[in-house]
Amino acid sequence: MEINGQTLNNFRLKLRCKVRYHVGGACPDVEDLVQETLVRFLRFAKDERIRNPANIGAFLNGVCNNVILEYRRRLWRDDPGVREVREEGCASTPDVELMEVREAIEAGLAQLPDRDHAILRALYLEDRSRDEICQALGITDAQFRVVLFRAKDRFRKIYREGLKPWAAGSH
């Protein structure tokens, strides 16, 4: 796979925007994250480990996501200040509020079509793998991604609609 300088520069500009969006524009490590993403990408390209060169943008996006996640994990692990801020800022939820949230989730899931309900429950509540869910429902991985995206969107709308009366009453 041949990648010329202009293509690489376009990738760099797009990655810079993506990284800034995810880690913040003031983050001093933006350029390092972009560089690390490009280095990994070029290694994959050189070793011809990109399965579908037609989807090079999606592949590069995935590499960038991994670099960002590793960066966040490293910050969390290496900087005790980040951990303390999170622990102080996250007060424990009282049991009553937790029960209300669980009930709202269950009510939202009950309003979904059967397949959407099954996918969301299996993935998020039963912690089953993507392969297990695909096999149980008889769908491909590509179909799984589409169904999951739509199921999450439907659930989000149901959940938000269910919260509107509650949120209006609390003011």
119 with 150, same domain?
A: yes
The CATH code of the domain that includes 84 is: 1.10.1740
Hunting for tokens 């269950």 — which residue is that? 106
Task: Evaluate whether residue 82 is within a structural domain.
Answer: yes
Dist. CA 72–CA 151, nearest whole Å: 28
Among residues 60, 88, 116, the one where a domain terminates is 88
Q: Which of 43, 67, 88 is the C-terminal boundary of a domain? A: 88
pLDDT, tens digit, 9 for 90 and up, residues 31-81: 999 999 999 998 888 888 888 888 888 889 899 999 999 998 888 887 665
Pairwise CA distance, residues 104 & 159, whole Å: 7
Tell me, what's the pLDDT at 140? 92
State whether 81 and 141 are in the same domain: no
Residue 93 has pLDDT above 80, yes or no: no
Report the percent of the chain where pLDDT is more than 90: 30
Q: Is residue 139 part of a domain?
A: yes
Which CATH number fits the domain that encloses residue 138? 1.10.10.10
Is 32 found in the same domain as 67?
yes
Does 56 reside within a domain?
yes
- Per-residue model confidence as pLDDT tens digits over 105-149: 888 888 889 999 989 888 888 888 899 999 999 999 999 999 999
